[in-house]
Structure 1
Amino acid sequence: MKLVRTGSWPAKFPFAIILLAAGVTFGTALWSLPSIGQETEKPTETKPELPAIEKTPDGMVKLSKKHDVWLDTKRKAIVVDGKICLREGQLEMFACPKGTKEHESIVALNCLPEEVHAGLLALGAKQGTTVKFDPEYKSATGEIVDIYVMWKEPDGTAKEVRAQELIKHAKTGKAMAYDWVFAGSGFYKDPENNRLHYQANGGDFICVSNFPTATLDLPVESTQANGGLLFHAFTENIPAKGTAVRVVLVPRLKKAEDNPNEKKAEKPAAEAPAK
C-alpha cells in the first residue's frame, strides 16, 4: 500500500487509519496490555501478555498489502513480523526494514517505517523532533514507545522480552536501560522528479545510534562513530539467526491529566459535592 506524501506527514493515511478516525471498532485483540509507566532510562518491570506467533493476527487491521504490519486499535499497538538477522557485534540499529541495514541491526522487519509511523499517529502517539548536532547536540524527542519481541524456541516454547534485553551496553555489559522516542524521521526530495521520500525507509528505523533520519531514536547522546558505538548485540539473549519474530510497539499515550495546559471538563453543578 502506497502512502500519499506531501511536504508534511502524508495527508492521506491507509484505509485502516481513515476507519479509525471514523470511530470504527475492530475485532477482539490477541492479548491484554497493562498500563505502562512513564519512567525513562529504566526498563518497565511489568510485561504485557503477548500472543504466540501466528501467521495472521486476528482482530487487527493490516496496514499494507505487501508487508506484515498490523494496527491493533483496541490495545493501542503496532505489530510487525520479521527475522533475527544479527546476533554478534556492534549496533547502530535495533531493527531495520529488510533489505537495508541488516549488518548493523538485530532484527529485519517486513515493513516500511513510514507504515509504522502512520500507525503510531493513528493510535494517538505524538511525533517529536529528530536529533540535532549543529550548532550543538540536542537529543531526539517524542512519545515513548515500548517495544517487545516474541518468538518460539525450537522446542515450541514461547519467548517474550523487551527489546532492550537483546541489546548490551558496551562498557557495562548490562542490558540497555533507555527507552525509544517517536522522533519521526523526515522527507527528502528527489531532485530528478521532485518526489518526496520518507528518509527512514532507507534503514534508520529503530536506532540505538543517533540519526536525524530515525523514526525511533534514543533520547540520549549515542555516537555513530565505529570506534565509539555504545551498544552491542546481547548474544546470550538473542535467538538463532533466521528465527521468525514478532515485534510489538506500544506507545505510552499521555492522558489528558498528564497535560497541565489542557483544561479539564467541569462537573455539572448537580454533581458537585455538598459544602
Structure 2
Amino acid sequence: MRAVRSMGVRGWVGLAVAMVAGAAVPLEAAEPVIKAGEKVTLTGTLQGGIMAIGGETTGWRLTYRRGEKPAKIEVDMAAIAEARKFDGAEVTVKGRIISKSYVERGPTLILKAATVTPEKEAPAPPAAPGNVKLPGITINIEEGAVDVEGTVCLHAGMLEFVACTKGTKEHESIVAVDARPMHIHTALLLLGAQPGNPAMRRLLEEDGGRWVEYPPRGGPVHVSLVFAGDDGKTIERPIGDFITRAADDIGGAPGAGEEVEDRKFPTNTFLFAGSQLHGDGPGPRRYLADGSGHVISISTFGDEVLCLPGVHGHDNGALIWEINPAGLPDVGAKVTLRLRPRGGSKDRDRSP
C-alpha cells in the first residue's frame, strides 16, 4: 500500500498511459482541406443548372469524395468549350481554387476549371452497316443495290435475255453471271424488294378444269451495267443503252430506215418476278431459275428472276430486240450487273 501511495500523481498517469497503450486505436489522418489559391484535380459528378439566392452561383457544381464522405464545390466553367455536354457526367476537373465574396452567401470557394475530362469515353456511334457478300454478289448498302459479278458474253445478235448464268444462254444474253439465281433473289429480299411471280398458267379444277393465265408481277428493279472506262474511272449506264430494236424485219420489227430514237429499248426497269419453287414430294423444292439459268429475261419463260411486264414471245411478235454494242465492254470483260429496287431510300431519279 505504501508503495502504491509513493507513486504520486506522475506515477499514476504513467501507469494509465501504459495500460491503454496496447488498446489504443490510431486516429485517422485529418482530411485534406481545400484552400484558395491551390491547384487541384478532383473527380466526381458534374451538374449544371444550379440555382442560388440572388443568382449568386456559377450554375455548376461538382460532387466528389473527400476521404470517405461526399463533398461539393462550385465550379466556374467559363473556360470550357461546349460545357453542356458534361452535364450529369462523371468527370475529372483540373483547375485552381478561388474565393469569391457573394452578397448573400458570403465568401465561397470556387473551382475555376481549366480542363474537364470525362471519366468514361462516350460510346462511339454505331458503325454504318457494311456490305454483305454472297458468292458472286455484293449487297451494296451505299448504293442500295445488289451488285452481281458478270462477264460480257455477246456483241452481236438477237436477245432473249439481259443476263443468264454461265454455261446456259450466253448466245442470246448480254451478260453471264457466276451467282446462283436463288442467291440473287435472296439479296433483293434483303434490300426490301417485293417478289411476285413470273407469267404462268394454272389449272382451276373447281372451275371445270379451265386453265387460267396469270401475268407477271413483282416490285420494280432498275437494271444498269457498271464497268471501268478507258481512263480507269467507273461508268454506270442503264442496261437499255445496250439493247436496240432489230434492224431486220424479224417478228414484225420495223426496217433499218426507222428513226434511232424509235428503236430504243423502252425501259430499264424489270419486275422482281422471283422465279418459282417446284416439287411436291418430301425434301426441299427446287428454285427453277437455278436449273435454267434465267436471271433477267426479255422473252417470257415463266421461271426467270426478273422479267418485263406482260408476255413476250414469237406468238405476239415481241422478240424484236438485238444487242447494241456501242460503248459495251469487249466480250470477256468483267462487269457488274447492278440491280437497284425502285422506291427504296437509296433509289435515285432514273429513267424508266
State TM-score, norm by structure 1.
Answer: 0.63
> How far has the Cα of 1:116 moved from its partner?
1.1
The residue number in structure 2 matching 1:142 is 218
What is the CA–CA distance in structure 1 between the aligned matches of 2:197 and 2:149, rounded to whole Å?
27
Q: Which residue of the other structure, out of 196, 208, 216, is the alignment partner of 2:285?
A: 196
> How far has the Cα of 1:228 moved from its partner?
5.5
Give me the identity figure in percent: 32
Q: Tell me the amino acid that sits aligned with residue 231 of structure 1.
A: W
Instruction: Determine if contact 2:196/2:272 at 8 Å carries over to the other structure.
Output: yes
The residue number in structure 2 matching 1:223 is 313
Change (3 A) 1:76 1:228: closer
1:212 aligns with 2:302: yes
Q: Which residue of the other structure, out of 266, 270, 288, is the alignment partner of 1:177?
A: 266
Q: Tell me the amino acid that sits aligned with residue 279 of structure 2.
A: K
1:239 aligns with 2:315: no
Instruction: Determine if contact 1:128/1:143 at 8 Å carries over to the other structure.
Output: yes
For 1:105-124, list aligned pairs within 5 A: 105-124=173-192
The residue number in structure 1 matching 2:131 is 60
More strand by share: 2
1:90 aligns with 2:180: no
Instruction: Determine if contact 1:188/1:196 at 8 Å carries over to the other structure.
Output: yes
> How far has the Cα of 1:230 moved from its partner?
2.3
What is the CA–CA distance in structure 1 between the aligned matches of 2:280 and 2:162, rounded to whole Å?
28
Q: Which residue of the other structure, out of 253, 270, 276, is the alignment partner of 1:186?
A: 276
SS of the residue 1:103 aligns to: helix
Larger CA Rg, structure 1 vs 2: 2
More RCO (CA 8 Å, sep 6+): 1
What is the CA–CA distance in structure 2 between the aligned matches of 1:97 and 1:76, rounded to whole Å?
23
Output one character per residue of 1:84-114: Cα deviation in whole Å (capped at 9) or x when no partner.
0011111111001222211111001121111
The residue number in structure 1 matching 2:342 is 252
Change (3 A) 1:110 1:250: same
> How far has the Cα of 1:238 moved from its partner?
2.2
What is the CA–CA distance in structure 1 between the aligned matches of 2:138 and 2:187, rounded to whole Å?
8
> How far has the Cα of 1:218 moved from its partner?
0.2
What is the CA–CA distance in structure 2 between the aligned matches of 1:190 and 1:112, rounded to whole Å?
22
Q: Which residue of the other structure, out of 232, 251, 272, is the alignment partner of 1:156?
A: 232
SS of the residue 1:205 aligns to: strand
> How far has the Cα of 1:196 moved from its partner?
2.0
Instruction: Determine if contact 1:85/1:108 at 8 Å carries over to the other structure.
Output: yes
Q: In angstroms, what is the RMSD of aligned CA positions? A: 2.7
State TM-score, norm by structure 2.
Answer: 0.50
What is the CA–CA distance in structure 2 between the aligned matches of 1:95 and 1:246, rounded to whole Å?
11
Q: Tell me the amino acid that sits aligned with residue 328 of structure 2.
A: I
The residue number in structure 2 matching 1:80 is 148
Q: Tell me the amino acid that sits aligned with residue 158 of structure 1.
A: T
What is the CA–CA distance in structure 2 between the aligned matches of 1:25 and 1:78, rounded to whole Å?
21
Change (3 A) 1:143 1:156: same
Change (3 A) 1:209 1:25: farther
Output one character per residue of 1:228-269: Cα deviation in whole Å (capped at 9) or x when no partner.
6221111224221111101111101369xxxxxxxxxxxxxx
SS of the residue 2:294 aligns to: coil
> How far has the Cα of 1:159 moved from its partner?
2.6
Kindly tell me the number of residue pairs found equivalent between the two proteins. Answer: 197
